[in-house]
Structure 1
């Protein structure tokens, strides 16, 4: 058993390896919808979420895992591990990191390390995967944390949205607020920068936005990892993955579907890529 346990939350979308295979503990955020409190990935799947979204007049809201859950998980893991590394969605996009930090201080701040990924989705999952693989190989927390810190600046995630309505409604729109004016019949392209959603470009049609996403994936430069992410548009995601693979000279590019919590804030039709840029120092 590794000396270091790894924890994350349900906004990590794994494209290369399942969290159970990695020995990672995933704490679900919740979708509060009418009278229902639904644990992301446990009580509701992405497809169930999108099906309900089309017919339910109630607006879903999301919440971080409760403090008590974090405390319980940390205590249980410390009973069998030397340390816990807990890696979460950007603190500028969710309260989850703050709740985890409070729990760590309550349980054992010298043995529980909370990492602000400053990202989300497939990029977050790669950080978690790297930590889990290093832990399995016998690395200590003191070895793993600098490796994660070195990865975070090399993360990129860029997506096109059918609409900014969901980001605006959920208060996660960030610097993309500038896109709200005059967006009729325009498809926004946004990216995560310094832990926030920023505007990048806007194009006129869905087809143009998909072509542009593929071009942007190539333009960011050499990559160590790349994957495609989507909400309720798997066929387009497969096409984009094939396009990116062809441009990058890869046999395949993995595809991940965002969970219900992220879908709440992005809406159906999100499509884009995440990547880990190659380490220029190697």
Structure 2
């Protein structure tokens, strides 16, 4: 039985099956739709978010968990006297990591280690699963954190958005850029660099051909990636597109695991439907 408990926030976009397999517990971020606030992944689905957004022309506001929720979340593990490692969404994007630090202070507990993933979505998920595997093998919290320091900057997280409307509504993208991109039918690649979102390549065309091109453009990097696993994470894409992308990656004969996950409420709120990314660790 490991003395290390791995926890994360809901933006890591791991499926219920993966959370169960690796014994990972999740604290939800908050999603405000007008004057109603809901918990990500518990009270609201991504499809409900899209519907509300289209009806109102607004994007939900997202926020860190409350201190009260964070205290209640870690308290059972504190009572067991476990070493707790929390992986949170990039501190450049959210106050979630700090809320967990404050929760540990409230409980006067000094064995909660907060890791700023400097990432989002399954860019966090890659770190979380790796840590959970090490915990199962009996590694100490310090060993797991040292390993994460070594691989954190090698996480490659990027995705292509079908429309900039959601990023714009959420204040993540200037109006002019949105107008131009949507008029020109541009589909930009968003890349996570040092914990922040940046624009990479700009694609043009229908979303299916764009997503295939985006993955094909990553062929050399994928062939040089850590072979353990790769994520295909999407915010509600056509099954046939996901299958083609999976087939392409399978054809590289590189990865032991190709994991497909659907992005949760927070990530989907900011990027909108038909977004897809391929996320992996570079060697």
Q: How does the TM-score come out when normalised to structure 2?
A: 0.87
> Partners of 1:115 and 1:177 in 2: how far apart?
34
1:209 match: 210
CA RMSD of the aligned region, Å? 2.5
Once the two structures are TM-superposed, the CA of residue 156 in structure 1 deviates from its matched residue by: 0.5
- Is 2:29 the partner of 1:29? yes
- Is 2:147 the partner of 1:151? no
1:223 match: 225
What stretches of structure 2 of length at least 5 have no aligned partner? none
Please show how residues 104-115 of structure 1 align to structure 2 within 5 Å.
104-108=104-108, 110-115=110-115
Q: List per-residue Cα deviations over 1:2-52 (Å, max 9, x = no partner).
A: 211111110112269521332222001121112322211111223443344
Asked whether the equivalents of residues 238 and 255 of structure 1 are also in contact (C-alpha less than 8 Å), the reply is no
Please show how residues 56-75 of structure 1 align to structure 2 within 5 Å.
56-75=56-75
> Partners of 2:190 and 2:65 in 1: how far apart?
27
What stretches of structure 1 of length at least 5 have no aligned partner? none
Asked whether the equivalents of residues 59 and 270 of structure 2 are also in contact (C-alpha less than 8 Å), the reply is no
2:132 match: 132
Asked whether the equivalents of residues 126 and 280 of structure 2 are also in contact (C-alpha less than 8 Å), the reply is no
> Partners of 1:162 and 1:196 in 2: how far apart?
20
Q: List per-residue Cα deviations over 1:193-243 (Å, max 9, x = no partner).
A: 101111111122134421331123313241222121111114222222222
> Partners of 1:133 and 1:238 in 2: how far apart?
27
> Partners of 1:80 and 1:251 in 2: how far apart?
35
C-alpha change, 1:252 and 1:70, in structure 2 (3 Å) is closer
Once the two structures are TM-superposed, the CA of residue 167 in structure 1 deviates from its matched residue by: 1.9
Pick aligned residue for 1:245 from 244, 250, 255: 250
Once the two structures are TM-superposed, the CA of residue 71 in structure 1 deviates from its matched residue by: 2.0
Q: List per-residue Cα deviations over 1:121-176 (Å, max 9, x = no partner).
A: 11211211122222222221111110111121110011111122222322345xx9
Give runs of ≥4 in structure 1 deviating > 4 Å: 176-181, 248-252
Once the two structures are TM-superposed, the CA of residue 180 in structure 1 deviates from its matched residue by: 4.7
1:182 match: 180
> Partners of 1:251 and 1:209 in 2: how far apart?
26
Q: Which moved more, 1:126-135 or 1:246-255?
A: 246-255
